[in-house]
Amino acid sequence: MILYPMIELLDGRCVSLFRGRTDEPHIWHVDPVAKAKSFSKSGAEWLHITDFDAMSGDDRNAELIREIIRTVGIPVQLGGGFRSLERIAEWIDHGAGRIVVGALALHQPDVVKEAAKLFPDQIVLAVDVFEGVVVSDGWRQKSAFTPSAFLKAFENDPFAAIIITDIGADLGDAEDSLALIAGLASEAKTAVFARGLSRSLDDLSRLKYVPSVSGALIGRALFDGSIDFEAALEVVKPELEKRAQFI
């Protein structure tokens, strides 16, 4: 399982939000570029960035993100504010390794399908689930899609991966959220990454054994010290098969 350390940006600062509420961000007083490099130094294979300002059409973080892409030394998976094929192509030209789309897939699915064909293995589908349906636009808008129906609509498109987030995970039983993501992952024909289920090393230990989940995004827990990234890598690394001893 691959771990994706996650940097969420608002007004140039690293933040964590409660259900996408930008009016009450938890601000982490760290330099985003230095933090990105620290994840790379600790052994991360990928970095995930979410640009909350871009969701409202504000490009204030663009140069900061370009600097991270140029200097971090590992590929960057970027989400936030992708509303057109042109913007997707622009950020791929800027060096983003993957682009994450969510609202665009709900509102203009044909554009996302075209993007997946033009940029195979570089488009990631975000499936955010709240109260049994897919939500979008910073988790504020409910759709008419169940997550299963949403996955079905894109089952033949060449996505690099699918990120599944249970928005209600902090309210209910973590086991329920794990069961939800595991069930959806078993339906998907593409690699699934879990978001929002990695608050401790124990969470990662459980997630590691979910057969259809091949990655996890970790944000707040890396910033508040609940998870040490190097320790997390040790938890999820493949176990060597025991071999019979021959004399």
Look at residue 244 and tell me whether its pLDDT is greater than 60. no
pLDDT mean across residues, the chain:
91
Greater model confidence, 211 or 11: 11
pLDDT tens-digit profile of 8-32? 999 999 999 876 666 789 999 999 9
Instruction: Select from 97, 61, 93 the least CA-distant residue to 80.
Output: 61
Catalytic, out of 8, 51, 53, 166: 8
Asked about 8 being catalytic, the answer comes back as yes
Contact 167, 139 (CB under 8 A): yes
Distance CA 225, CA 232 (A): 12
Q: Is 127 helix (H, G, I), strand (E, B) or coil?
A: strand
pLDDT reported for residue 20: 60
Instruction: Let me know if 131 is a catalytic residue.
Output: no
The answer to whether residue 246 scores a pLDDT higher than 60 is: no
Q: Which of 51, 59, 67, 128 is catalytic?
A: 128
Looking at residues 165-185, what average pLDDT do you find?
A: 79
Pair of tokens at residue 219: 């944000």
Average pLDDT rounded to a whole number, residues 169-188? 80
For 2-236, CATH number? 3.20.20.70
Instruction: Give CA–CA dist 110/197, Å, rounded.
Output: 30
pLDDT band at 125 (very low <50, low <70, confident <90, very high): very high
Q: What pLDDT sits at residue 241?
A: 54
End-to-end Cα, the chain, rounded Å: 35
